[in-house]
Amino acid sequence: MGKNITRIVYKPDTQSTEEYIIIVHPEELKKYKAGDTTIPLTDVVESFQVFFSNQGNQGLLGKPSKQQLETVFGTSVDVEIIKLMIQKGKDQSSDHLGNNFGSTNVTRGSITEHRSGATR
């Protein structure tokens, strides 16, 4: 059985389909939000990577540009963004996580193209 994770979703406004997402550990998050300042942020988050989807829950997750981060959060410093997302974002437990983190289409096989050497 894998490690239990939660994602925090931050929407710039309620009408927006844009979502910024971080992956966190739920037990550490709960303690951190309760005010336990002895827990380092590195124990709370899975990574300092911020993900982005402009299609809400349905879209594949990508990496936002530095300009997007500056516009939405007023900074591109990952630690500051993560603290803000923990404070203002909504938790979604792993029970509700979709499979948006994987390959776009694993049935296509290898991405490398195979050529037989025949000329056309």
Residues 6 or more apart in contact with residue 86 via CB below 8 angstroms: 8, 22, 24, 29, 32, 33, 44
CATH number of 6-99: 3.30.1250.10
CB 19 within 8 A of CB 9: yes
Instruction: For the full predicted model, state whether its pTM sits above 0.85.
Output: no
Express each pLDDT in 27-49 by its tens digit. Answer: 999 999 999 888 999 999 999 99
Express each pLDDT in 79-119 by its tens digit. Answer: 999 999 999 999 988 654 444 444 444 444 444 444 455 55
